[in-house]
Structure 1
Amino acid sequence: MTKIVNPYAEMPGYHCFGCSPKNDHGLQMTFTKEGDEVVSVWQPRRFLQGFHQMLHGGIQATLMDEIGSWLVQVTLKTAGVTSGLNIRYLKTVYVNQGEITLRAKLKGMRRNLADVDVSLTNSEGVLCATGEVTYYTFSQEVARQKLNFPSEEAFYESQKKE
């Protein structure tokens, strides 16, 4: 398991709802790389509920969209924007029953469209939702110029020994 660093965190004006550690109203997701998957372990908060104690479905969709985007960035080494999102809600996710785990894996590429499969499991490992997310990916040059996409190394802590 390798920790993924958020290279955007110190960028002035950066307040991504999904992953900015400085957005007090955001999800503040963090990520690791495990083999060919990107993983996020996340603690639901009560103010994100829909019905009593139930995590809002729109928040679940946002979690899936965000982790899929990070998979595109670290696996394909470029950035993309969401082109499509299809979710199957299978079981209720509660805000008061511990951390949830999201896993994203590249399903395939169709020209510049990346298809990503995402799963969401509760603290007991029960599959609660699945998602299929499609991202329109940009060339690295366009990603750098328009989306502030950094170098590949920026996503990982330095392995150099002092």
Structure 2
Amino acid sequence: MTATLPWSGRTDHHCFGCSPRNAAGLQLSFEDAEDGLSAQFCLDKHYESYPGVVHGGILAVICDETMGNLIVMRLGVPALTTSMRMRYVGVVRVGGRYRCLARAEVKPDLVHATAEILDSAGMVVGTATATYLPRGSQL
């Protein structure tokens, strides 16, 4: 089932990661999945680092977007990233099909989240862990 963000209909929503109105952005969309949230993506050479390889910073954005938006879906409020660690264990190729899967554990003041980037065969090619600070109202 497609997950809808609370601000998705706003005309001032221009998020680099998930706004369909940001032509330079990733335009990610999210689906409920496996006790979490997922985003499927296939990136072109505009997001390239080495020839044919997606830039690692873009993969970090995808993980952060998926984890952060999972928190929005669960808590109903935005959450600010306080720390994040990426681990790259495989190559993400330009033009390849991938999926980011995020899960989160809500603590009293912070939310701890994890994400995996999976290739089309289901192999993990990247992981992220992060901590988020929920905000009491919409930004």
Q: The TM-score by the shorter chain falls in which range?
A: over 0.9
Q: Aligned runs of 1:121-140 on 2, under 5 Å?
A: 121-139=118-136
Count of aligned residue pairs for this structure pair: 139
Give 1:45's aligned residue. 44
Contact 1:112 1:138 in 2 (8 A): no
Give 2:4's aligned residue. 5
Displaced runs of 4 or more, over 6 A: none
Structure 2 counterpart of 1:118, which letter? A
Higher helix fraction (1 or 2): 1
Q: Aligned runs of 1:2-81 on 2, under 5 Å?
A: 2-81=1-80
| 1:105-138 Cα shifts (integer Å, max 9, x gaps) | 01342x3210001000112221000000111112
Contact 2:87 2:126 in 1 (8 A): yes
Structure 1 counterpart of 2:133, which letter? Y
| 1:32-82 Cα shifts (integer Å, max 9, x gaps) | 112421011111121101000101000000000000111101112221111
Q: Give the TM-score, by structure 2 length.
A: 0.93
Q: Secondary structure at the match of 1:81?
A: strand
Q: Secondary structure at the match of 1:59?
A: helix
- Taking a change above 3 Å as real, the CA distance of residues 6 and 76 of structure 1, as seen in their structure-2 partners, is closer
Q: CA RMSD in A?
A: 1.3
Q: Give the TM-score, by structure 1 length.
A: 0.81
Q: Structure 2: 5+ residue runs without aligned partners?
A: none
Contact 2:116 2:128 in 1 (8 A): yes
- Taking a change above 3 Å as real, the CA distance of residues 138 and 7 of structure 1, as seen in their structure-2 partners, is closer
Larger radius of gyration between Structure 1 and Structure 2: 1
Give 1:104's aligned residue. 102
Structure 2 counterpart of 1:61, which letter? A
